[in-house]
Structure 1
């Protein structure tokens, strides 16, 4: 009997042609020729081990995949959220911006995913400067994800709890572990005025989040890590299908929260401030328009803006989280210092010293 979780695709007891053929059959592409062979190409990946599985056929027909993508995660860093992302949360829904999943297994905080391989058609966006078309496409895709898991009833039907005070406290407490180390690091060659903004956010923002929690039920299942590496767009530069991958929250992450938090994470943390200033309102308008088109009710444009503003200040928490561990604080200084600068710039642009 094969393992429920693949740990070594080179082990024929875990991964072979019979297994691949069965996965293709379940995925609806197994009516044509059966694969006659496969090879494994190891890929670079963070927090996982990944392979491109190249398939060979005799008399292959159009529609048969030439390759698949195999992702292995072990070591207990993450729970089963990513497995549910591909197999449960959006099951049976059309137009969902995530790759097709042929198989998944989860056991004891280890898992595997066998996904469609988009390598030839799509790329991540690490080296791509955001454009209006890209920003709006990402906004529509996120609106689709959020609309399908929006509100307490839908979250409960999927087995999720709506965010509560306990979860907010845990989330803020984790970020606060890095606050004092962040202030200490600021003294080492970083604009000292950043400490004023960070101190203000860590003093007032948790209460503002609690106030938003008490204000209503317009919460969604969020991705939580909309960085450029987790957004796949067509290699030809078109505005075709866009995909969000790698939903891997930590145990202390907010899995349900305000939808615009995914947009603030995408734009404030990762876009240069000039680009963010130029595009953010149009991106947010497209997001709100798309939510309405996808059936979300009673979520106003004014609420969209206020939720974006509130969640953008969580970017200070992200910068601080890199400072909890002394090694990460030193080795990732190039990243968290840039994220801190962008968070401070947003704080000033939106007048957050006055109100949230």
Structure 2
């Protein structure tokens, strides 16, 4: 809004006066006397901080602690990843209230015309704990995650307005887009194998190569079944309360329009160890499908959902290889990508996904 102070670009810009101004949009005449800003995480696209506030007046309903996301401090990185900021801004301002995905309460979200300056002020969900992609999750957490995912997909299943949604970093593909993505996928797979191939099994390397050659065809399958996807629906982007009774979904920077089960397959096959995945995936897909039905999706059979789950698995090598090829390496990041690729490629082999793509193409 024009009445707001400038968008903060660094933690020192998050002042008591700035917080007072933006919170006044939520509760009138907010007076913040003091703020304390501490880093709680840094990422490849931005930085996250905890903001503790001391009020000079009583403000019922306003917390003493918030989480704030700011852009990356490197200007060149900020410009390169600005589409991610636009996606997250679009989600919280245009989408969040229209779906049933469990998300943090948003107190302020703003972006400038260039997309390079961006701020997101959210509720602090502590003591909720971030999922651990390397360790994997248990069945209770997986159940929560697939139900939450249906809450994203179901309310606006096959909504034609997604076809013109400008907030997606990856829109619903046409033939030209799919071909371009296929070319990039092959390049990203080659780069990933150069960087991480020595840490991968022979089978995973071969599956990654083969899958990359089918991405263009894969993206064009089932064009009449689509919705908005999270795009990176994995454990590191989920927060679980200590009792494992609630999950909250964060990091909406990779919004995609496409086959819904791409999100489902990506989560199940990367978040569970292969043996656990093989033992539980049918039940998890069934739970997701049953939850979709509660949103009125009554023309989508359980057998079609299972086939789409198998069909969605290339989302894993696609996103993991893009992340490896186009982002800076860290020890944990590389280990996470190897784990995701190994788990995902094993699921692709065991469930006959590449054969299914060839059959349907």
Question: Does structure 1 residue 339 correspond to structure 2 residue 353?
Answer: no
1:269 is matched with which residue? 270
Change (3 A) 1:40 1:305: same
1:177 is matched with which residue? 187
SS in 2 for 1:177: helix
Contact kept? 1:125, 1:232, Cα under 8 Å: yes
Any runs of at least 4 consecutive aligned residues in structure 1 with deviations exceeding 6 A, and if so which? none
Question: Does structure 1 residue 50 correspond to structure 2 residue 48?
Answer: yes
Tell me the alpha carbon deviations over residues 216-248 of structure 1, each in whole angstroms, 9 at most, x when there is no partner.
2x20111011121210111x22313x2111111
2:75 is matched with which residue? none
Contact kept? 1:322, 1:328, Cα under 8 Å: no
2:142 is matched with which residue? 135
1:255 is matched with which residue? 256
Contact kept? 2:100, 2:155, Cα under 8 Å: no
Tell me the alpha carbon deviations over residues 276-322 of structure 1, each in whole angstroms, 9 at most, x when there is no partner.
12222222111111111112342222221122111112322234335
Question: Does structure 1 residue 68 correspond to structure 2 residue 66?
Answer: yes
SS in 2 for 1:118: coil
Change (3 A) 1:37 1:204: closer
Shifted more, 68-77 versus 169-178: the winner is: 169-178
Question: Does structure 1 residue 167 correspond to structure 2 residue 177?
Answer: yes
Distance 1:334 1:344 in 2: 15
Distance 1:172 1:338 in 2: 23
1:35 is matched with which residue? 32
Change (3 A) 1:200 1:58: closer
Q: Over the residues paired in the alignment, what is the CA RMSD in angstroms?
A: 3.1
Compute the displacement of 1:41 (Å). Answer: 1.6
1:78 is matched with which residue? 82
TM-score (norm 2): 0.82
Listed as ranges, the gaps of 5+ residues in structure 2 are 73-77
Distance 2:316 2:119 in 1: 30
Tell me the number of residue pairs that the alignment of Structure 1 and Structure 2 aligns.
Answer: 340
Distance 2:216 2:70 in 1: 36
Change (3 A) 1:146 1:32: same
Structure 2 residue corresponding to 1:88, chosen from 61, 80, 94: 94
Compute the displacement of 1:202 (Å). Answer: 2.9
TM-score (norm 1): 0.83
